[in-house]
Amino acid sequence: MPLKNSSTRFGTVSRFLHWTVFLLFVYQFIGANIMTRLGRNGTAFGMNGDFYYNWHKSIGLVLFALVLARLIWRRTTPLPDWAECLTEPERIITSRLETMLYWLMFLLPVTGYLFVMAGGYGIRLFGITDLPNPIGKQPAWSWLVWTLHILFAYAALIVISWHVGLGLKKHVYERAGLLDRMLPFRK
């Protein structure tokens, strides 16, 4: 499969970035719900709360790098033409949803990062090394970025559900094969 997008389908780079980001998002949601529910001495699958917090923050930073790569790739590589099965209103909705998804993929790690730095919690990258805190403790506004982080996380769930719903409607219900343009290992 070619690395770049063709006029009819997404290439390997776009597919790799799309599905890696998806898998890491799934991890972020599951991990976040585990970590915020574990008590001080609680464990889940043999790991304690510190483990889940460190991995949530670290994977969040990996996601930030992937999203920057994705944005650069999208801006420098032509997209495939619109899928013929999408009606004019569906193209408008798809384009708005994609813009929202990019904003959310960008703002989630930024608010998460600002919250842990402003709250003075810091980041121990994958449990190995502490990252410096370039902004210092900021109790005056750390609650604000915490609130935004939670709001963006649940807004992302809604937008992703809409995006997935539209894709599945076209692929499964209308049998238009839309997912073949993006699924891995599909020609």
Binding site for ligand HEM (CB under 6 A): 14, 18, 21-22, 25, 28-29, 32, 36, 56-57, 60-61, 63, 74, 83, 98, 101-102, 105, 108-109, 112-113, 115-116, 123, 149-150, 153, 160, 163-164, 167-168, 178-179, 181-182
- 3-state secondary structure string, the chain? CCCCCCCCCCCHHHHHHHHHHHHHHHHHHHHHHHHCCCCCCCEECCEEHHHHHHHHHHHHHHHHHHHHHHHHHHHHCCCCCCCCCCCHHHHHHHHHHHHHHHHHHHHHHHHHHHHHHHCCCCCEECCCEECCCCCCCCCCCHHHHHHHHHHHHHHHHHHHHHHHHHHHHHHHHCCCCHHHHCCCCCC
Shortest Å distance, C-beta 56 to ligand HEM: 5
Shortest Å distance, C-beta 87 to ligand HEM: 13
Shortest Å distance, C-beta 101 to ligand HEM: 4
d(CA 123, CA 133): 8
Between 98 and 144, name the residue whose CB sits nearer to ligand HEM. 98
Shortest Å distance, C-beta 58 to ligand HEM: 8
Shortest Å distance, C-beta 46 to ligand HEM: 21
